[in-house]
Structure 1
C-alpha cells in the first residue's frame, strides 16, 4: 500500500531541526556526538598536523564511501571519517600553525555558525532574511566611520578579498566608462576603447588584481605593475611616472589599487600620496585592506590607516585578523550611488516596487545572489570579546612579530628581510655558512617540507627576488616566543641534517 503524505513526513522528522520533540532531540543528539568527536580529535592533535603525505591522504579519502542507499547513523559516520578527514586536517588553532593568512576562529563565531546554519537565511531578499538584513546593514554602518567614511558611504558583506577586489575594479571600470563616454557597460557591454583601459598596483599587490582584470574582459596585461621601495611599499615616484607615461601613450588608466597589508610582508602602501595622485588624474582609488583592515581595532597601529578614508572603495576581511571562520569579508564604498553599476531587479526576488515601499533587498549591492548571514559571526564576536580585548589580541601579534624578527637577526644562520615588521608577517631564510656547494633555495624548501611532514610546525615559503624564503604569519594571539624559539631550533636541526647530507654527497 502506498504511503500517505503524513506517513512519509513522519519518516523525515528526525532529519531536521524543528519545533517538534523529535526534531529537538535529534539536534541535541547530533550536536553532542559532534562535540564529543571534535573533543576527542583535538585532544589527540598536540601538533599542528598529523604529518601524512598528500598521497596518503588522497588514498584514504578515495577509500571513503560517499553515499549509502538506506542511510547510517551519525555515530558510525563520525567514526569512519575520524582518521581520513578530521585528524588529517591542519589544526589552525595550534600556536605553531603560522603559515598563511588563515586564523583560529573565535568561540563566539563558532556559536554564531550554529545559529546561521540552523536558520539558513539567504541575504539576497528581505523575505528570506528579515531581521538578518537589518543586522548586516547596521554592522556595515558601524564599520564605515571606522574607515573614515561618511553618511554617503555604504557596503556589503562578501566571501572575502577576491570578491571584494573584483567588485572594486568592476565599479571602477563601469564608473570610468560612464563618466568618460556616457557608456553603460551593464547594458551595452565593453566600450570599443576598453582595450586601452589600465589598472595600476604595486608588484606586491594581491594576485586578484590581475585575476579581476581578466574576468572583467580587460586582460591581465591591463594591469601595470608599479615598483616598490626598500620596505616593499609602492613607489609614489614610479606610480607618477607610469601614470604620465600611460597618458602620453594614449592609454587610459582608470584605477589605482593600494595594498594595506601585502601577503608576504604585511607592507602598507602610502595611501595618502596614492589617493592624491589618483584624484589628480581622475582615477578610482581602491584599497585592498583584506589583511590590514583589522587595524581599525588596534591601539598601537591604527595610525597606519591614514589615507584610507580617501579611497573610493575598500576591501576588508574578517577571516584573517578578526578571527572569524571562513568565509567572512566586506566591501565598502565611499558613495553608495556606486552600487548602481551592479543593480538588477527580478520580479520574483527584488522587484523595484519593493524599494519604493521601503523594503531592503541586499542583492542590489552584491555580485552574489545567495549569501550567508556572516554578519552575525562578527557581531557576536564584537559583543562577547569586546573591541578592547580584540585590539589587545591584534597588538600582541604585532609585538610577537617584532620579537621574532629580532630573535632571527641574532641567530647566526638566519637572514631576516623585514627586521621591523609592519604587521605580523616575518620573512626570513636559513643561510648557514658553507663552501658554496649548498643550494640554499632547495635547502629552505626542504626544511619547510620536512617540518610540515613531521607535523611539528606549519610555516609558509615564498619567493623574493628569485630566492626561496620562509615566512611566519603570526595571526594567532595564543602563539608565544617560546613557540617561535622552538620552531627556529627545529629549523636549525633540520638545516644541519640537510647540509650534512650535502657534505657527504659532495
Structure 2
C-alpha cells in the first residue's frame, strides 16, 4: 500500500526535510550539504587578509531573529560576519590576552567532536576509546608534572577557575572530613599571593567559605609569593585555632608570569603540621594554568642546547624550570592547554596526586545519581565532575596537539615566547618615562606604564589608558590591554603567538614611542 504524501502531518514533513537538509549524521545528503557549507565558510575566510591584528571578513545583511526559518547559506553568511573585528590571535602585534592561535589539527578535531557529539561523562555515551583518551591525557600530564601516573587521577573541565575550585574543595574535605556531605562547620582559611588569580576568592564564595576567608600574602619584587609573609600569616591563623584548608601557589601569574616557590611552600606546610600538631593535612594547590607547559623542558639537555636557543633565552628557561619542576610537591594541579597548549577553548584539566579518602568522599555513586547509570561505576570521571554532561572537545584537541606537535615542537614554541618577552622588556626600558614592572621577568607577559613625578596617580592612570587607546588606532595597530598593579593602571603585553620576529618587537616599541611623542610625553 502506497502512502499518500498529502496525508502526512505537516510536522512530519518538516522533520523529514530537516533529516535530509540539516542533520549530517542522519543522511548522506545532509552530510554533503555540510561539506558544501564548510567549503563556503573556508572560501569566505580565504578572502580575509590575516596580515592585520584584527579579522576582517565580508559584511553580510542582518537576519531578523523570529520564528521563520532561513536558508543555511544565508545563516552562515550572517554567522561569519559576527567574527568581524575579532583579534587575530596569530598576529605578532596581538598581545592583549592569553588566547592562542589554534592548530589546524585541533580545529578539525573540535569539528569532529561537535559532529559526533559524545558525552565523556560516561563510556556509554562517549565510547570506550574516547573515554580512555581522557585517561591517556591525564597519565601524560601527570608524568609531565612529576606525579606517579599509576596513582594520580584527574579529568578535563571547562576552565582553570573550575579546576581551582576542585583543588580547594579537596583541601576543605581534608581539613574537615565529611564537610562535603554535612556542610562547613569550622572557620577555615585559604592562603594565596596578592598576584594570584581572582578566581580563588570567587571559588571560596561559591564553596561557602566566603571570599573574605582568602588571605592574600605579600609578593616579592619578582612577583612571587613572599614565603616569610606566608609563614607569618599561617602561624597567626593556626595560633588562633583556625584551620587552613589550602595554600594556592601560582606557577605563572597572568600578567607577569611570576612563579611561586612550591618547594618552599611544601617545606613550610610540613613544618606547620609538626609544630602545631595538626590532625589534618593542609593541601597545596598549584595553579599552573599558564606555567604547566614549560614542564616540556624537564628533560631538555641544557648543556648541548639542541634547539640552539640564544644564551639569554636558555638562562631564562633554566630559571623557569627551577620552579616548574616542583609541581609534584602540590596535592592538586590545574592546567590549561587552551593557553600555551594552542588548542580551542575549553581545554582545562585538574590533576590529583592520588585518589585518597578525601577525593573518594566527593564521588557520586549510583544511589546519589541514579540518572547517570554506569557513569557512577569504577573510576569513571562522571562520578566526580560538577558537570554531568561533558563534551570531550578539550580532551581530544589536547590529545591531537600533543601527538602533532610533540615535545620538541612545544619546546621551540615556548622558547620563542620567552625570547620575545625578554627582548620586549629590554627595549621598553630604553623609552624615557617608562616603568617596566617585571623588568627581570622570564615569560611572555610584560607590564609597564608611563610615569612622571609631576603627575597625580589619577592623571597617570588616565594618561596610560589614553596611550592604550591610541595604540589601537596607529597605522600599524597594536592590540595590548590594561591591568592594575596596586592602584596603578598599567599596560600589558601578553605574548602567546610564537610567530614574532625582532622586527615586530621594534614595530611595537616604535608605535609606543610615536604615541608618547604625539602626547608630548617624551
TM-score clears 0.5: yes
Which residue of structure 2 lines up, in the alignment, with residue 324 of structure 1?
343
Would you say the 8 A contact 1:441–1:467 is kept in 2? yes
Written as runs of structure 1 = structure 2, the 5 A alignment for 1:419-458 is 419-431=439-451, 436=455, 439-452=459-472, 456-458=477-479
Which residue of structure 1 lines up, in the alignment, with residue 91 of structure 2?
94
Q: Separation in 2 of the partners of 1:405 and 1:466?
A: 22
Q: CA deviation at 1:482?
A: 1.4
Would you say the 8 A contact 1:96–1:457 is kept in 2? yes
Which residue of structure 1 lines up, in the alignment, with residue 306 of structure 2?
none
Q: Separation in 2 of the partners of 1:82 and 1:377?
A: 23
Determine if the alignment matches structure 1 residue 272 to structure 2 residue 291.
Answer: no
216 and 293 in structure 1: CA distance in 2 versus 1, 3 angstrom threshold: same
Which residue of structure 2 lines up, in the alignment, with residue 57 of structure 1?
none
Determine if the alignment matches structure 1 residue 18 to structure 2 residue 25.
Answer: yes
Q: Separation in 1 of the partners of 2:339 and 2:217?
A: 26
Which residue of structure 2 lines up, in the alignment, with residue 200 of structure 1?
191
462 and 108 in structure 1: CA distance in 2 versus 1, 3 angstrom threshold: same
Q: Deviations over 1:405-454 (max 9, x none)?
A: 111122334222222222211111234x7865893321111111222355
Q: Separation in 2 of the partners of 1:103 and 1:275?
A: 32
Q: Separation in 2 of the partners of 1:118 and 1:233?
A: 44
Written as runs of structure 1 = structure 2, the 5 A alignment for 1:250-261 is 250-261=241-252
Which residue of structure 1 lines up, in the alignment, with residue 109 of structure 2?
112
Q: Separation in 2 of the partners of 1:352 and 1:270?
A: 38
66 and 88 in structure 1: CA distance in 2 versus 1, 3 angstrom threshold: farther
Q: Separation in 1 of the partners of 2:43 and 2:397?
A: 23
Aligned counterpart for 1:123 among listed residues 117, 120, 123: 120
Aligned counterpart for 1:228 among listed residues 219, 222, 231: 219
Which residue of structure 2 lines up, in the alignment, with residue 190 of structure 1?
184
296 and 352 in structure 1: CA distance in 2 versus 1, 3 angstrom threshold: closer
SS at structure 2 position matched to 1:164: helix
Q: CA deviation at 1:2?
A: 4.3
Q: CA deviation at 1:353?
A: 8.0
Q: Separation in 2 of the partners of 1:190 and 1:290?
A: 28
Determine if the alignment matches structure 1 residue 349 to structure 2 residue 349.
Answer: no
Q: Separation in 2 of the partners of 1:122 and 1:132?
A: 9
Aligned counterpart for 1:310 among listed residues 308, 323, 329: 329
24 and 79 in structure 1: CA distance in 2 versus 1, 3 angstrom threshold: closer
Which residue of structure 1 lines up, in the alignment, with residue 512 of structure 2?
491
Aligned counterpart for 1:48 among listed residues 40, 53, 62: 53
Q: Separation in 1 of the partners of 2:202 and 2:454?
A: 43
15 and 413 in structure 1: CA distance in 2 versus 1, 3 angstrom threshold: same
Q: Larger deviation: 65-74 or 305-314?
A: 65-74
Would you say the 8 A contact 1:47–1:457 is kept in 2? no
Q: CA deviation at 1:352?
A: 8.1
Which residue of structure 2 lines up, in the alignment, with residue 143 of structure 1?
141
Gaps of 5+ in 2: 1-5, 274-280, 301-316
Taking structure 1 as the reference length, the TM-score comes to: 0.88
Which residue of structure 1 lines up, in the alignment, with residue 490 of structure 2?
469
Q: Separation in 1 of the partners of 2:254 and 2:30?
A: 45
Q: Separation in 1 of the partners of 2:506 and 2:386?
A: 45
Which residue of structure 2 lines up, in the alignment, with residue 245 of structure 1?
236
255 and 436 in structure 1: CA distance in 2 versus 1, 3 angstrom threshold: closer
Would you say the 8 A contact 1:258–1:287 is kept in 2? yes
Q: Separation in 2 of the partners of 1:434 and 1:211?
A: 37
Q: Separation in 2 of the partners of 1:350 and 1:186?
A: 22
Q: Separation in 2 of the partners of 1:330 and 1:381?
A: 15
Taking structure 2 as the reference length, the TM-score comes to: 0.86
Q: CA deviation at 1:38?
A: 2.1
